[in-house]
Structure 1
Amino acid sequence: MKILAVVAHPDDEVIGCGGTLSKLSEAGHEVRALLPIRRNDPRGVAHWAELEDAFRSSCTHLGVHALIANELVDERSLEAGVHHLHDLIMPEVEWADTIFTHWPGDCNQAHGSVSRAVEIATRPFRRRKNVYLFEVSTSTEQGFFPSFAPNMWSVLEERHVSRKREAMGFYSTELAGGRTPEALARRMQARGDDIGAHAAEAFHIARFFL
């Protein structure tokens, strides 16, 4: 399979689906992660070069090919620029069989905009792509009305858990309560408990074709 993760920020590829991307790469599938947005918050601006390097290192550790758009969309323009974002991601969407991206109800504008761009790009009458939506700790569950509803689980082995934990370690500026390597391991264990497995990541199936 040709797998694409479309993410809003460096570290979302790890937090949202790092264990699964590692598992799929290990199984021999071609896996890419696309970063189309540039952060504009003070910490993001101050550490942007470091974050790009961390994104590349994280992807390499997970067995994923890192893609950073040549003309990154600024976060401040997302509300009016979803169609520009759509056009930016389209070549990689066309390439992929299966796409992972954000849950649209996240308490983060950039996450929602990326999800919306993928939704537009994968309208079934134009192109049939399987699309799976992931959760991001400290965002998906932070809204007034948390609504993430998983209906698919990716069972992970300990080596996938370890790779995800280690990949998060590249993001020294982003570590905080709920998004440390240890917190990610606890979340994977909790999602594993949902289905009686050692560890798992949870997703919502947005589009699926047989």
Structure 2
Amino acid sequence: MTRVLVIAPHPDDEVIGCGGSIAKLAQSGAEVTVVIVIRRERGLADREVGDEEFAAETTDACRVLGVKRCITLDEPSRDFAADRRLHLAVVKVLREVRPDRVYLPHRDDGDVEHRAVHRLGLESLWMAESDFFEEAGPPAPPPSLVLGYEVWAPLGEAQYTEDVTDQIELKVEAMRCYRSQLRHAAWDEAVRGLASYRAVTSAGHGHSEAFEVIRMAGARP
């Protein structure tokens, strides 16, 4: 059975970045775990939204995509700092899940917290594979594939695309589970449009997700 770990900076990044791939992998029998690092920052439109409703949005989105387990680390927005404590929290998940495939934000994403989580993911991967940091459990084997997904800034040059034509409606449905986010912007339309653009420019039709290849076949980045 394929084990997959998705590291998302914020709630909904997992859907925007690789929701179709998550659904496709889950449909094929893969076991998918999602880690959301940073808690939602409240805006003026969120005054009436309770913490339980925010949490339910993520739970509902993961259910739609077929995610087996979702872990929230609840780090503060804008005061986010990847210290040893946080690294060890991610390392512990990596050593528990022992993923064959990992997804994280691509290195040049336009959001500063997305870039910070990209670095957090890479450093945690190295730590999880090393003989050190025993407090986080025994070392994990390196995943065979690590991919960087796009959210706030599209990739300048996509190195890999995944056909998610059969999963696009699930991706859009999962995005619509983030009801509070849709009050800020039409992200459900955005995920469909980006997937259509990626497919047209790669295969000529359908819907695709694009990725940066960070590691393949166990090679270190």
Q: What TM bracket, shorter-length normalisation? A: 0.7 to 0.9
> Structure 1: which 5+ runs fail to align?
142-146
- Partner residue of 2:136? none
- Partner residue of 1:2? 3
Deviation at 1:58, TM superposition (A): 0.3
Residues 4-61 of structure 1: CA deviation (Å, up to 9, x unaligned): 1010111111100000000000011111111122234445974443222111100000
How many residues in Structure 1 have an aligned counterpart in Structure 2? 200
Equivalent AA in structure 2 for residue 99 of structure 1: V
Verify: 1:122 aligned to 2:125, yes or no. Answer: yes
- The structure-2 alpha-carbon separation of the partners of 1:198 and 1:40, relative to structure 1 and needing over 3 Å to count, comes to closer
Verify: 1:156 aligned to 2:145, yes or no. Answer: no
Verify: 1:133 aligned to 2:148, yes or no. Answer: yes
Q: How high is the TM-score relative to the length of structure 2? A: 0.81
Q: Please identify, of 104-113 and 94-103, the stretch whose mean Cα deviation from structure 2 is larger.
A: 104-113
Distance 2:40 2:112 in 1: 11
Verify: 1:72 aligned to 2:52, yes or no. Answer: no
- The structure-2 alpha-carbon separation of the partners of 1:77 and 1:87, relative to structure 1 and needing over 3 Å to count, comes to farther
Q: Please identify, of 92-101 and 170-179, the stretch whose mean Cα deviation from structure 2 is larger.
A: 170-179
Q: Is the 8 A contact 1:8 1:110 kept in 2?
A: yes
Aligned-partner SS, 2:92: helix
Q: Within 5 Å, give how 1:25-174 maps onto structure 2.
A: 25-42=26-43, 46=47, 47=49, 48-69=51-72, 72-79=74-81, 81-94=82-95, 95=97, 96-123=99-126, 126=130, 127-129=141-143, 130-136=145-151, 139-141=152-154, 148-158=156-166, 160-174=167-181
Identity score, percent: 25
Equivalent AA in structure 2 for residue 174 of structure 1: Q
Name the Cα RMSD after superposition. 2.4
> Structure 2: which 5+ runs fail to align?
131-140
Distance 2:44 2:142 in 1: 38
The one of 184, 204, 208 equivalent to 2:191 is 184
Distance 2:38 2:46 in 1: 12
Q: How high is the TM-score relative to the length of structure 1? A: 0.84
- The structure-2 alpha-carbon separation of the partners of 1:9 and 1:179, relative to structure 1 and needing over 3 Å to count, comes to farther
Aligned-partner SS, 1:190: helix
Residues 69-113 of structure 1: CA deviation (Å, up to 9, x unaligned): 3x522124323x343322111122222121101112222222112
Deviation at 1:153, TM superposition (A): 0.6
- The structure-2 alpha-carbon separation of the partners of 1:176 and 1:45, relative to structure 1 and needing over 3 Å to count, comes to closer
